[in-house]
Amino acid sequence: MPIVAIVGRPNVGKSSLFNRIIGREGPTIKAIVDGVPGVTRDLLYGEAEWRGKSFYVVDTGGILGEQTEFSAGIEASVRRALTECDVAVMVVDGAVGVTGADEAVADLLRRWGRAKAGGGGNKTPPVVVAVNKIDDPTHEPRAAEAYKLGLGEVYPVSATHALGIYDLMDAVCSILSEQEGEQASNEDLATASPTVCAAIVGRPNVGKSSLLNRLLGSERALVSPIAGTTRDPVDTSAVLDGRNFRLIDTAGLRRKSRMDSDVEYYSFVRALSAIDRADVALLVMDGPCSDFDKKIAARVAEKGRGIVLAVNKWDAVAKANKNGDAMLKKIREEMPFMTWAPVLFVSALSGRGVNKIAGAVLRVFENRRRRIPTATLNRLMRDMMAFDRLPSDKRGRALKISYCVQSGVEPPTFVFFVNDPDIVDAAFENHVIKELRSLAAALEGDADGQGGFSGSPVRVFWREKGEKGA
């Protein structure tokens, strides 16, 4: 699809306009909006549609304003966004007027627009100017000052109150229509395999953004040794191992008591939301798992998402045959509730083991959708009743299992119909889940331990036989 980039100096309302265009407001706003300049640092992609035309919108960090430790990285990411986009929307703050920084941004866009127009044979530079914060029609004369930027037509808008958005988007889509012959067709997407959505999560500064860049083979996410560099979830589409992936780089997760700003709290909420909308979470650690790593893993399992554990910075570990075995043993001991999760040892810096990530995530994605035939399940049930010691209550009544079914997938969910659900204890339920995992692996002829329901939580429910709605 065509790509529309939103650019400008810091704090002119780019993220607010991005949210307005993609139509996600309230608690589902994708880009963090705050009055403090420099909140957005990475490129944020969202899908939009206007008058039947679909396209991507890219929110970029503010450039050519006050210099910070992130300025060089943000400007480089904006230039990358311009190299791939088809139309640029420059945002100006109508309440402040045109500044020297705005003129510097306009100069950058004029040079980019001339190159883009020349390369595509289009005489009109694909740039549109949006003067934001024109919150009342009586304020529209303020927008006239932006004509001196020399970028053509100017559109007064209010991203907060949705004023002027129709005219702005009509202008953007008019340029896209002129370029339509150069855009790739979307018809093949309808028959493509399901997209695998993977969220890259973990504590701050464990190398999540570096790992994303290594997977993509490009510097898509801003990387810095400063913890908390990533704030918004960064969605990126890619083809890995022949499959469509949507990779979500998230802000580092840490305890609420250690958060020192509203922006960090919003980043935390967005990261948790990214887990909720992902199929699989790639939990990145930089060594033995911490207590908070355990909490993140528990959150993933609670939400029914798949999980792959990735120990990053493995290049810093001395090369010895038993180091990996020792680390794996330590992780299994410290996370006994995650014995079913595959573990990878990788290095975003050197690339070691990174080529295994896509395959591992894809296997977990497929394992979450796996089913066991009902006839096979009931053979398992009969075996348990014949050979296993079933629990009993205080009165000596033993558990009796009538039959079982797999009621759902994503994650695999099973319902056992019994004489009394209260008789079932945690130990027996864990035993049943272990048997279900072994059965699923055996059905596949699994030899490497990665089949069956590996990487996916398994849910079991107990219902009294004849219970309504069961």
Residue bearing the bigger pLDDT, 233 or 197: 197
Kindly give the residue spans of alpha helices, DSSP state H, lying in 30-99: 71-84
φ and ψ of 105, to 5 deg:
-65, -45
End-to-end alpha-carbon separation of the chain, Å?
A: 45
> Mean of the per-residue pLDDT values for the chain?
80
State the pLDDT confidence band at 334, using cuts at 50, 70 and 90: very high
Query: What is the average per-residue pLDDT within 276-300?
Result: 89
Q: What is the reported pLDDT for 270? A: 66
The 3-class SS string of the chain reads CCEEEEECCCCCCHHHHHHHHHCCCHHHCCCCCCCCCCCCCCCEEEEEEECCEEEEEEECCCCCCCCCCCHHHHHHHHHHHHHHCCEEEEEEECCCCCCHHHHHHHHHHHHHHHHHHHHHCCCCCCEEEEEECCCCHHHHHHHHHHHHHCCCCEEECECCCCECHHHHHHHHHHHHHHCHHHCCCCHHHHHCCCCEEEEEEECCCCCHHHHHHHHHCCCCCCCCCCCCCCCCCEEEEEEECCEEEEEEECCCCCCHHHCCCHHHHHHHHHHHHHHHHCCEEEEEECCCCCHHHHHHHHHHHHCCCEEEEEECCHHHCCCCCCHHHHHHHHHHHHCHHHCCCCEEECCCCCCCCHHHHHHHHHHHHHHHCCCCCHHHHHHHHHHHHHHCCCCECCCCCECCEEEEEEEECCCCEEEEEECCHHHCCHHHHHHHHHHHHHHHHHHHCCCCCCCCCCCCCCEEEEEECCCCCC
Q: What is the reported pLDDT for 458? A: 95
List of E strands, 317-412 = 343-345, 401-408
Contact predicate 280/365, CB 8 Å? yes
State the pLDDT confidence band at 282, using cuts at 50, 70 and 90: very high
Residue 235 has pLDDT above 80, yes or no: no
What pLDDT digit, counting tens, does each position of 428-437 carry?
999 999 999 9
What pLDDT digit, counting tens, does each position of 199-209 carry?
999 888 888 88
Structure pTM?
0.63
Residue 130 has pLDDT above 60, yes or no: yes
Q: What is the reported pLDDT for 185? A: 41
Residue 210 identity: S
Q: Which of 52-61, 334-343, 405-414 has the lowest mean pLDDT?
A: 52-61
Domains of the chain: 3-187 (3.40.50.300), 192-367 (3.40.50.300), 374-464 (3.30.300.20)
Residue 266 has pLDDT above 80, yes or no: no
Query: What is the average per-residue pLDDT within 7-20?
Result: 89
Kindly give the residue spans of alpha helices, DSSP state H, lying in 85-204: 100-120, 165-178
Query: What is the average per-residue pLDDT within 340-363?
Result: 93
The C-alpha atoms of residue 76 and residue 308 are separated, in whole angstroms, by: 31
List of E strands, 133-194 = 154-156
Q: What is the reported pLDDT for 461? A: 94
Q: What is the reported pLDDT for 415? A: 92
Structure tokens given for 445: 């002829």
Residue bearing the bigger pLDDT, 33 or 71: 71
Residue 24 has pLDDT above 70, yes or no: no
